[in-house]
Amino acid sequence: MLKMTHLSKVYRTEVVETYALRDFNIDVKEGEFVAVTGPSGSGKTTFLTIAGLLETFTGGTYHLDNLDVSNLDDNARSKIRNEKIGFIFQAFNLIPDLNVFDNVEVPLRYRGMKALERKERIMGALDRVGLASRAKHYPAELSGGQQQRVAIARALAGSPRLLLADEPTGNLDTQMARGVMELLEEIHRDGATIVMVTHDPELAARAQRNVHIIDGQVVDLAEDPRFHSAYVAAAGQVRG
Amino acid sequence: MLAHYLQLGLRSLRRNPMLTALMVMAIGFGVAASMITWSVFRVVSGNPIPDKSEALYTALIDNRGPQYNNAGNEPPEALDYDEAVALIRARKAAHQTLFYNIGLSVMPEGSHDLPLNASGYATNTDFFNMFEVPFQYGGAWTAADDDARAAVAIISSDLNNKLFGGANSVGREVTFDQHTYRIIGVTGHWDPKPRYFDVFAGMTYAEPPDVYIPFTRAIDLKIDTSGRNNCGGAPVHIESAEAWLHRQCAWIPVWVELSTKADAQRYLDFLTAYAAEQQRAGHFNWPPNVRLRSVMNWLDFEHVVPPESRISLFVSVGFFVICMVNTIGLLLAKFMRRSAEIGVRRALGATRREVYEQFLMEAATVGLAGGMLGLILTAIGMQGVSLLFEPEIARLAHLDFSLLVMAIGVAVLAALIAAFYPSWRAAQVQPAWQLKSN
């Protein structure tokens, strides 16, 4: 579903080159729920923005749904984002001037979908996240957890092949976070492919597979001698 | 999708109400200033008879000599009786007319009413066809009426309203200066601005004429001109009616209708030949000095557009440009404050073009609101036009449908132009950076 091979992302200034990702390799199969963890500045969000075609990369290859997306122009990338990818952001990123219904409608508008089909999909998505009754409410009238549910509904409405979540519970209290996480698990059980970036080892542990990024590279904590002892200690804490 | 963008644009007017209000005011005031001055300028500088302006010419002959001429040895702006009548009788053009200004007192029917003053023209039959005078009732008199010095008259619909309550008065009689005339026609509303054929008498922006009588009849009755009588400083001795009629003063404009440039050249040759003949006969002691000026050439030569009209238009357009520059800055601020939203929209599948179109439409709605405010301010400002212009010019300014459409159109177009750069900047927002920074 998502395969990056020897991918690199370099930010260049006149005096310095900074590698955000270096020889980055990842292969996410269809239907997988993958948690991406790593310390701040390790390149998690850069990985996610490249995976979501929001940013270009410097080297390597990236296949999304068996399509090489390395050299697509902006329009083609926008079309793929619209049709194949759903985004869930830490800060929800709802548009404050639009009510819940209109927020969920945004990606469907860009797809050129007919009004009737849009309405069916929007109400279906809102029903799935339990907010159909709040369709006419504005984001400011909702709690953080409800706003994130709306964002999830917006991501689901277009029936994407891949769901990318960037710290989806980062701005929520424990109870709301649990609710959002349960929703993501339910969506995954229904067959969605989910890649979730998180700091939280507890949330990461609920994913099918964990990928760790350190200094712009995917590392195997259990095998890499640099992190082995720390990994064993952390694993013990989680189990405890 | 454009309808959706328009809907978003209307919604966005409520966002940042202070910024929106500033932009709407900038556009509104700019549009109003421009429309008010334009409403005057378009009248004074417009083509008063577009379909015929290249076919109508005023014929001018130097009949007094270089010492009395205008700067550049320009001949007088009208003719004397002898030259005017000679040109009409020569019939060298498809149509030809001559006229002079008259002021008459009109005695309304019924003894209780006071006499009215009526101004107009003593002219010939071709006047009405050449200058496209519309008729509400009846029509123009004939060439036979001209020759017969008939006591016929044409009155304006305005005078007809005053005298006959607007009824069809053709065939009825009217008394001008104690002489009775049979009404043969009633004109419809006719008020060409500028009144190109009567610039000489200073009637360029005057009220529409009330009455027309045959030139021959007016001469018979020795009705003097109420317009300009330019003798250019030459000595004038009027001891008799004959001397009055044949005085060497400019007081009768002559206009001819010539369909093609070749016809115009032939007529100019005729004028030159006529002046040469006068020189040979000893009437003119100077070489032929003639002119044939078309409508727009004549208006340009006479500097009909008042300088204050041109200056005020330049100033108001300059003001509008400054307003637009401010609007660009305000739009930029308004749009860039929404970088996060743009980032989200891009992430959800919007192309740069779609973002660009959305923000252009938002600007168009600001322009629409600015245009509406501009219309209100224009209507208010029209009341104050007399502070800038002479009363006879100020009365020309009015808010009509074309100005209304133009005000809205200019406002929307200006807002779109002002939004080109801010919208482009909005479309260039990098979604990844916006989403990372959140």
Can you give the pLDDT at residue B106? 92
Which of these, B435, B426, B434, lies nearest to A164 by C-alpha position? B435
Structure confidence at residue B43 as a pLDDT band (50, 70, 90)? confident
- Work out the average pLDDT over B54-71: 86
What pLDDT does residue A108 have? 95
Contact B88, B212 (CB under 8 A): no
Mean pLDDT, chain A, integer: 88
3-state secondary structure (DSSP) of residue B369: helix
Please report which confidence band the pLDDT of residue A23 belongs to, taking 50, 70 and 90 as the band edges: very high
pLDDT of residue A200: 84
Task: Give mean pLDDT, residues B386-397.
Answer: 77
Q: How many CB atoms lie within 10 A of CB A200?
A: 16
CB-based contact, B406 to chain A, within 8 Å = no
Question: pTM of the full predicted structure?
Answer: 0.73
Residue A240: its pLDDT value, please?
47
Name which residue leads in pLDDT, B290 or A203.
Answer: B290
Q: Given this model, what pLDDT does residue B111 score?
A: 57
Contacts of B352 in chain A (CB under 8 A): 74, 78
Q: Which of A55, A75, A166 sits opposite B351 (nearest CB)?
A: A75
Q: What number of residues does chain A have?
A: 240
Among partner residues B341, B349, B430, which is closest to A95 by beta-carbon distance? B341
Cβ–Cβ of B11/A97 closer than 8 Å? yes
Contact A95 B344 (CB under 8 A): yes
Per-residue pLDDT, averaged over A144-173, amounts to 89
Complex ipTM above 0.85?
yes
**Average pLDDT of the residues in B339-368:** 93
The answer to whether B290 touches B62, Cβ cutoff 8 Å, is yes
Cα four-point dihedral sign A7, A12, A15, A21: negative
Please answer yes or no on whether B430 and A55 come within 8 Å at the CB atom: yes
Residue B133 scores a pLDDT above 60: yes
On the question of pLDDT at B269 being above 80, the answer is yes
B238 pLDDT band (50/70/90 cuts)? low
Q: Which of B67, B58, B61, B100 minimizes the C-alpha distance to B232? A: B67
* CA closest to A89 among chain B residues: B435
Q: How far is CA B256 from CA A10, B74, B87, B252, B295, in A?
A: 82, 19, 9, 13, 11
> B436 and chain A: CB distance < 8 Å anywhere?
yes
pLDDT for the residue A28: 93
Of A158-162, B15-19, B186-190, minimum mean pLDDT range:
B15-19
* pLDDT-derived band at B46, boundaries 50, 70, 90: confident
Determine the Cα–Cα distance for residues A4 and A218; give it in Å rounded to an integer.
Answer: 11
Phi, psi of B256 (to 5 degrees): -130, 155
Cβ contact B333:B424 at 8 Å:
no
Q: Collect all residues of chain A within an 8 Å Cβ-Cβ radius of residue B340.
A: 93
Please check the confidence at residue A167 and state whether its pLDDT lies above 80: yes
CATH node for A30-56+73-239? 3.40.50.300
Contacts of B354 in chain A (CB under 8 A): 110
What gap in Å lies between CA A83 and CA A85, rounded to an integer?
6
Q: Do B348 and A97 touch (CB under 8 A)?
A: no
Q: Is the pLDDT of residue A138 over 80?
A: yes
Percentage of chain A beyond pLDDT 70 is 91
Per-residue pLDDT at B126 exceeds 90: yes
| Nearest residue, CB atoms, A81 vs list B1, B347, B430 | B347
Q: How many interface pairs between A and B have CB atoms less than 8 angstroms apart?
A: 71
Q: Tell me the per-residue pLDDT of A172-220, one tens digit each, with 9 for 90 and over.
A: 888 888 888 888 898 898 888 999 998 888 888 889 899 999 999 998 6
In this prediction, residues B130-151 reach a mean pLDDT of 96
Domain spans, chain A = 30-56+73-239
Of all residues in chain B, the percent with pLDDT exceeding 70 is 96
d(CA A166, CA A89): 5
Domain ranges of chain B: 2-47+306-437, 56-257
| Mean pLDDT value of segment B184-210 | 92
First to last CA, chain A: 34
Q: How many helices (H) and strands (E) does chain A have?
A: 8, 10
Q: Is the minimum CB–CB distance between B342 and chain A shorter than 8 Å?
A: no
Residues 6 or more apart whose Cβ sits within 8 Å of residue A125? A104, A153, A154, A156, A157
Which of A93, A152, A164 has the highest number of chain B CBs within 10 A, making it the mutation to test binding with B? A93
Looking at residues B97-126, what average pLDDT do you find? Answer: 89
Which residue numbers of A have CB closer than 8 Å to B's CBs? 45, 49, 52, 54-55, 74-75, 78-79, 81-83, 87, 89-91, 93-95, 97, 106-107, 109-112, 154, 166
Distance CA(B168)–CA(B186), nearest Å, equals 8
* A92-125 pLDDT per residue, tens: 899 998 999 999 999 999 998 999 999 999 999 9
Among the partner-chain residues A82, A89, A91, the one whose CB lies closest to the CB of B349 is A82
**Minimal Cβ distance to B348: which of A74, A106, A166:** A106
